[in-house]
């Protein structure tokens, strides 16, 4: 996508609602605002051709055991931002160009990234785990100020900074919090993959969730090491 295309496509007044917007190579625009997600997810859940009754009853399709509303027989909240894209991703390959636009609030600031379909789907997965998963939302302080369209290292660094601040720099508390957080996200992500395998054949989202899991593991393995490297690089510039 050329600079001219980007200038023509990204107009602030086109993105009034909080959410994630993906503009595909054929100019298709996928709108992932809360209102649109809820509408499409409800239609998807009600359509037996999309989710047959036997899938709804499958043990792997149920909410996680630690979900605060575990046992409720409806669509897992973390799947809601994913289902609007399930019928679209088959038309594209992972390296197709995508413009991702993220609006975190109503103040008008937009984050724009020229990226690939694979990375665009990773952003959707992060949105799923950060804002929709009932368990993920319990960690909202960890996610405070994070931007889904940022790179994996930058995302992990911001998580670390938030956790460091929350626990007043206490290394033991920080390490424990990161370990527990990563364990919980790992289980949630793997359960998401199991659910998706029941309702779609395309592996694009499966790979995207695997990428998110890698970001989480990056936080757990490196903790503040990548952050220190970033600071050193900044000093050398």
pLDDT tens digits for range 32-81: 998 999 999 999 999 999 999 999 999 999 999 999 998 888 999 999 99
Burial of residue 160 (CB within 10 Å: 0-12, 13-18, 19+) is buried
Does 95 score more than 90 pLDDT?
no
| pLDDT of res. 69 | 93
Domain spans, the chain: 3-236
Q: What is the distance, to the nearest Å, from the Cα of residue 195 to the centroid of all Cα atoms in its chain?
A: 16
- In the prediction, which pLDDT does 198 show? 92
100: region left, alpha or beta (phi > 0 left; psi from -120 to 50 alpha):
beta
Number of residues in the chain = 237
Distance CA 130, CA 114 (A): 22
Higher pLDDT, 139 or 201: 139
% of the chain residues with pLDDT over 70: 88
Predicted confidence (pLDDT) at residue 2 exceeds the cutoff of 50: no
Average pLDDT of span 78-94: 85
Other C-beta atoms closer than 10 Å to the C-beta of 96 total 15
Rounded distance, CA 90 to CA 78, Å? 21
Position 146 confidence tier, pLDDT thresholds 50, 70, 90? confident
Q: Is the pLDDT of residue 158 over 60?
A: yes
């Amino acid at each position: 996508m050329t600079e001219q295309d980007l200038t023509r496509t990204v107009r602030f007044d086109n993105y009034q609602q909080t959410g994630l917007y993906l503009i595909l190579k054929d100019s298709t625009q996928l709108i992932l605002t809360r209102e649109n997600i809820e509408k499409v997810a409800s239609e998807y859940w009600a359509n037996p051709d999309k989710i047959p009754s036997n899938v709804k009853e499958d043990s792997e399709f149920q909410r996680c055991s630690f979900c605060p509303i575990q046992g409720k027989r409806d669509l897992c909240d973390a799947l809601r931002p994913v289902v609007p894209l399930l019928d679209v991703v088959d038309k594209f390959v992972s390296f197709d160009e995508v413009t991702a636009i993220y609006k975190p609030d109503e103040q008008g600031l937009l984050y724009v990234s020229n990226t690939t379909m694979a990375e665009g789907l990773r952003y959707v997965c992060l949105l799923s785990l950060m804002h929709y998963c009932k368990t993920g939302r319990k960690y909202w302080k960890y996610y405070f100020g994070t931007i889904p369209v940022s790179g994996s290292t930058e995302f992990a660094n911001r998580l670390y900074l938030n956790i460091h601040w929350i626990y007043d720099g206490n290394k033991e508390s920080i390490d424990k919090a990161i370990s527990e957080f990563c364990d919980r996200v790992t289980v949630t992500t793997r359960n998401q993959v199991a659910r998706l395998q029941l309702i779609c054949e395309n592996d694009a989202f499966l790979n995207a969730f695997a990428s998110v899991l890698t970001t989480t593991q990056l936080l757990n393995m490196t903790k503040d090491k990548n952050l220190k490297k970033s600071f050193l690089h900044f000093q050398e510039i």
